[in-house]
Amino acid sequence: MLKFATDAADSPKSIRVRFAPSPTGDLHVGGVRTALFNYLFARHTGGKFLLRIEDTDKERSTPAAIQVILDGLAWLGVTPDEPVVYQSARIERHKEAAYQILKSGLGYRCFCNPEELTAKREAARSIGKPFKYDRTCLKLKPAEIEGKLAAGTPWAVRVRVPDEDLTFEDGVHSEVRILGEDLEDFVLLRGDGTPTYMLAVVVDDADMGITHIIRGDEHLLNTPKQILIYKAMGCPVPRFAHVPLILGTDKKKLSKRHGATSITWYKEQGYLPETMLNFLGLLGWSPGDDRNVISRDELIELFDVSGIIPHGAVFDEQKLRWLNGQYISKTDFQSVRKSLLTYAEQAAADGRLERLPDEAYLEQVWNLIRSRIYFLSDLFYSALYLFQDPTSYDEKGMRKHFQKEGIADRLKTLSGDFESISRWTAVSIEETIRRRAEEWGASASELIHPLRLAVSGVTVGPGLFELLEVLGKEAVVKRIFIAVERIKQ
Ligand code: GLU
């Protein structure tokens, strides 16, 4: 099989790739993966990664929908090396290319009424037959063409496709073939003067000097037709690699049915950009081993189109969540400080958080909890007790740890011990607890569990001694007092 990037003809420096999304209002994770593969390929080969917004659908291409794409890519640091190209600004150029193909004799004018053609197409489909344009207008005599032009009949430009099969070598799928019988003379420019996707994409890629096209499988069968257009324009044909679909756990195409598909949602949910980059980078691509964790630099170093897996990859949300936990546990406070403060403000505005934490305290909390959470926002949901007294206690925990004979007195005694600790550290706290446990002939865990429940309201969390240290002596003593009152009730 042809090697995608490193044929003798390629000087790596001249490699130019692009991501060409159509704004829809959402940036699908599949699109992000396509962008990422192109970006990695460019970085790996020393080439350029470009972005072209295919904004010819006026209704969908609102400034907001375009911004979603730009923001999503910027968040991941997958940003273009040259100014963004907007397809809508290039319509005159697309038309010019269509006229050029017409002039060269490889295209022809089609005066057929598009509504009638659509009706014929539908009729054929309804009886399960393929419809192929019957080349009515290819057979027109020059005088007939003149007559129609003089009468002002609108015309489209079609490209004359050869009768044989079309093939090309794909970087992922090897040889791809469309049978000649399945090809029809397709439209480049519509009767209303608007270019089709097929034309615009080729003209833009040619003008942008794109050498390699990595994109979704849905464009696989468009490719032979696009290659015809390159040839008709006399332009070099890029290499193509088509990336298989992303699937849900039921092995069907990933869609909203399976859960969220938009990158913005993952961002808002508290996934880190490093997580998404790692996860999407290994979704349908493998460096040849079964690692789950990989950095941006490693992706760049190892990325090669030959590692793209030629069948659909399953989007495993459990794994994504786990991975986010891995990254969170390695992230230092400064990198998440701003986001945490935003989450805190949100929690305060929602009434969950009584007051905004001070930064030095937040940093301590972060270091204590980061290896135990999956999302930044968890801090202000499941770990609110780090900022304020618990308002309730886990039911099962209460039955297990608060109903033991004498527990209220033990907690009270411990609280008194705590008050007299002069250096409030995890070590001194641990010593105090263990000393009492020994004296009472109890195991340390018989004290640790009720203490945890008393100060946090829950039965799981960070190491108790470290937790108490971070909470501070005053809060701990107060919380034990509240819990003891509760136990006595
Ligand atoms: N705008 C097209 C899409 O979003 C992509 C075109 C291409 O990559 O060739 O599907």
Q: Which atom belonging to ligand 1 lies closest to the Cα atom of 18?
A: 8
**What residues form DSSP beta bridges with 16?**
48
Q: Which residue has the tokens 């969220």?
A: 260
Instruction: Name which of 383, 358, 359 is nearest 370 in CA terms.
Output: 383
Give yes or no for residue 201 CB within 6 A of ligand 1: yes
Return the C-alpha torsion angle 456, 462, 463, 469, nearest 10: -60
Give yes or no for residue 296 CB within 6 A of ligand 1: no
Give yes or no for residue 44 CB within 6 A of ligand 1: no
How many other C-beta atoms can be found within 10 angstroms of the C-beta atom of residue 256?
Answer: 10
Instruction: Just list the catalytic residues.
Output: 256
71: helix, coil or strand? helix
Q: Which residue has the tokens 């009706």?
A: 119
Instruction: Name which of 299, 282, 305, 311 is nearest 217 in CA terms.
Output: 311
Instruction: Name which of 367, 344, 339, 191 is nearest 270 in CA terms.
Output: 339
The continuous run of DSSP H or E covering 17 comes out as strand 16-19
Distance 228 CA to ligand 1 centre (A): 18
pLDDT in tens, the chain (489 residues): 446 765 545 555 699 999 999 999 999 999 999 999 999 999 999 999 999 999 999 999 999 999 999 999 999 999 999 999 999 999 999 999 999 999 999 999 999 998 989 998 899 999 988 889 999 999 999 999 999 999 999 999 999 999 999 999 999 999 999 998 889 999 999 999 999 999 999 999 999 999 999 999 999 999 999 999 999 999 999 999 999 999 999 999 998 888 889 999 999 888 999 999 999 999 999 999 999 999 999 999 999 999 999 999 999 999 999 999 999 999 999 999 999 999 999 999 999 999 999 999 999 999 999 999 999 889 999 999 999 999 999 999 999 999 999 999 999 999 999 999 999 999 999 999 999 999 999 999 999 999 999 999 999 999 999 999 999 999 999 999 999 999 998
Distance 71 CA to ligand 1 centre (A): 19
CA geometry: angle 313, 77, 373, nearest 5 deg: 70
Q: Report yes or no: 15 and 211 within 8 Å, Cβ to Cβ.
A: yes
